[in-house]
Every structure is written in C-alpha cells, then in structure tokens.
Amino acid sequence: MRRDEFIQIALDKKASDIHIAPNAYPMLRVNGMLKAIEGSEIMSREQVFEAVKEICDVEQLEKLEQAGELNFSFSIKEYGRFRVNIIKQRGTFSLSIRILKLIIPTKESLSLPDVVYDLAEQGKGLFVVSGAAGSGRSTTMASILQHLNETQRLNIITVESPIEYLFKHGESIVLQRDVGIDCESTAQGVKSIMRHDPDVVMISDISDDNVLELALQIAESGKLVIAGQSSINAVSAIESMIALSKPERVQNRKLKVAFNILGIISQQLVPGKSEDRVLAYEMLLPNAAIRSHIISGNFSEVRNSLAVGRKQGMVTMDQNLYECYLKGDITQDTLYKYCLDLEYVKRLERTAHKGELS
C-alpha cells in the first residue's frame, strides 16, 4: 500500500493520524482511538523503510539518518496538508502522519471563550496555549491569528516547527517561517524577526529556555506573542516556564512571567457522545493576586485563585469538563477519565444532586 492510498483511507475514515511501524498493522487514529486499517497486513521493516523513502527527499533522509528523527509538513493538491514525524527505533523507523485541515477554523466554529480573542485584540503580552500533543493547540493559535488577520492591520510573523496551517494575507501581512527550512532553529528564527518590525509573533513551541526568554523580551517591548507549550494545565505551564530558567535567574523569570503573561488557555480534546471530539479547556487570567503568587513561587495559591475566578472569566479544566457533562456533550466515564481531580468532580456531582433533591 502506497502513501496516497494510506492518506485516502484516512480521509475516508475521518482519521486524525496515520501510524506506521515495523511488525505492526498500519493504524489510524479515529476520534482519539487507534484502529488497524481494514484489510491491511503487518508491515515489515523493509516496507516501513520504503514508506519513509517515498515521503522524504534525499536531504531529509540524510537528516533522518544523522539525527534519528525528522519533522516536516507537505501538501498534496488532491488531499490537503500533512505533518510528518519520523523516529528511529531499534535500528529501523516509525512513521506518524497528522492530517491537517486546510481551512483555518473561525472564531465561531470553535468552542473557545470570547475572552481568548478579546485578549489577542489587546495587542501586547504573552498569551500561552498549552496542551499535550493532539490537543488542538495549533488549531487554537491559528484561529486567533486568523481573527487578527481578518480584523486588524498588523505585521504578523510566525516561527513554526513545522508549519501546519497556511495563511493568506488579509487586513494584515502574515509571514511564516518554517524551522529547518527558513531558519536553523526556533530561537534563531524568533531572534531574527525582531528586525522585521512585527506587531504579533506566533511561536509554535516554547519548551526551550532561550526561546522563552526571547518571547518574554518581545512581550515586554509591547508586542503580542502567542506561544504553544506542552503542559497539562495552566498552573503547570507557569511552573514549566519558571523551571526552564537557570537557578541564578529564577527570581527574574518569575517577575517577567508575572508581569507579561496576558493569559493561559490549557486544553484537551476528549471523546464526545457523537463521533466528534469535544474541546475542554482551562482559562487563567492573571490578576493582582495571581501575579503576587507567581512572584512568591506559591503555585498552589495560583490554582486556588484560578478556581475561584469564575466572575473574571477564569475556569479550571475540571469545571469546564463538568459543564460539558451537564450539557450532554460527554459521558460520565469521559468526565472521570479526563478530569484532573476526580474527588473534586464527584463533589460537584454530589452538590448538584443535593440541589435537585431540595
């Protein structure tokens, strides 16, 4: 089975990912679950390598051999755009292909709170979109950028590894830099764009200390920075940003984070009652108390302030998951499986049940 055949089957099944590994059936991820492709056979090491060679050019194959991993995106006119990750394992390769949507989701089509777009319109500070792989981070960031692109006249520059959504100039100019192609590294790509007079900078990942420091410097200069991060919730996103710093610079990092964070949305996609997955999120909006707790390093109090900040537009992941359950979007099993504090969720249920009986 060739590349285009895998892709056609994946599109027909509405899969989000294709996984190809030696000594295993080729798999599709559909609604978050892995399923073997019907009628397929277990693939040998040689067959997997042939699939890798079909999808990579000579230069990419050389990089893969040297680094043991490779990330890139490609487009096929008939099918769309795809993100590829290849890793070396036990002397052979494993291939993962993410199917990307060509159309950038609008503000109206996503279940994000309006405050996300309102914050972006303020035009300065660091807005963090966190979540694990497959949580929809790239889609959220693309939607925010497209909203700005359609409504404001700005110079928007992205540094992505790799580029997922392709933007067309709207009211704004949108320039996209692909790490490994347009710049050597994310840090180098971010540093050099400051000479290009950006109003908005989007960074696909800030897991590196140098990149985070540059992002904070840009935010301090009065620009808007939208950045992705792999954290399970908003408070852990803050902790990760502090932890990246060198020990002698921790207090300075706390101050920079406290006074430059515009907001943090942490999200995950969970199985819905219908075939589609449901977006669940946590929203942190820094106030005086939260900034003070960040500076003092009292992160447990940051979480407490988040939990009681509903009037300001804040919501925890568990509160939002429970709301999805009450609306009938997800089952109780899904609520229990994806919540962060099961006892807290059960208390919410007991409280609601008592209210119904009274």
Looking at the structure, tell me whether residues 250 and 309 fall in a common domain.
Answer: yes
Q: In whole angstroms, give the CA distance from residue 114 to residue 288.
A: 22
Sequence-separated (6 or more) residues with CB below 8 Å from residue 1: 26, 37, 40
Domain with 75 in it: what CATH number?
3.30.450.90
Residues 32 and 145 in one domain: no
Question: Is the same domain home to 20 and 138?
Answer: no
How many domains does one find in the chain?
2
Is residue 203 in a domain? yes
User: pTM to 2 decimals?
Assistant: 0.84
Q: Do the domain assignments include residue 357?
A: no
Best CA proximity match to 100, nearest among 185, 13, 220, 17: 17
Q: 23 and 87, same structural domain?
A: yes
* Inside any domain, residue 358: no
In this predicted structure, the answer to whether residue 355 has a pLDDT above a threshold of 50 is yes
Residue 43: partners with Cβ closer than 8 Å, 6 or more residues away: 20, 21, 22, 23, 24, 25, 26, 51
pLDDT tens sequence across 110-157: 889 999 999 999 989 999 999 998 899 999 999 999 999 999 999 999
CATH number of the domain bearing residue 307: 3.40.50.300
Question: What secondary structure letter does DSSP report for 133?
Answer: T
Tokens matching residue 103: 């159309």
pLDDT value for 270: 93
The tens digit of pLDDT for each residue in 85-116 reads: 999 988 889 999 998 877 888 888 888 999 99
Q: List, for residues 41-78, the tens digit of each pLDDT value.
A: 999 999 999 999 999 999 999 999 999 999 888 888 77
**Do 303 and 280 reside in the same domain of the chain?**
yes
Residue type, 207: S
| Longest pairwise C-alpha distance within the chain | 71
Give the residues across from 94 on adjacent strands: 87
> 131 and 89: one domain?
no
Report d(CA 121, CA 278) in Å as an integer.
Answer: 26
For residue 258, report the phi and psi dihedrals to the nearest 5 degrees: -60, -40
Q: Are residues 271 and 202 in the same domain?
A: yes
Q: State whether 14 and 141 are in the same domain.
A: no
Concatenating the DSSP letter of every residue in 249-304 gives GHHHHHHHHHHHEEEEEEEEEEE-SSSSEEEEEEEE---HHHHHHHHHT-HHHHHH
Beta bridge partner(s), residue 321: none
155 and 212 fall within a common domain = yes
| Domain shared by 59 and 87, yes or no | yes
In Å, what is the CA distance from 142 to each residue of 40, 138, 165, 182? 35, 6, 7, 19
Q: 93 and 30, same structural domain?
A: yes
Containing structural domain, residue 79: 3-100
Q: Give pLDDT tens digits for 5-54.
A: 888 899 998 898 999 999 999 999 988 789 999 888 999 999 999 999 99
Residues 163 and 73: beta-carbon distance below 8 Å: yes
Residue 335 lies in a domain: no
80 with 200, same domain: the answer is: no
Domain membership flag for residue 28: yes
Give the three-class secondary structure for 356.
helix
pLDDT at 242 over 80: yes
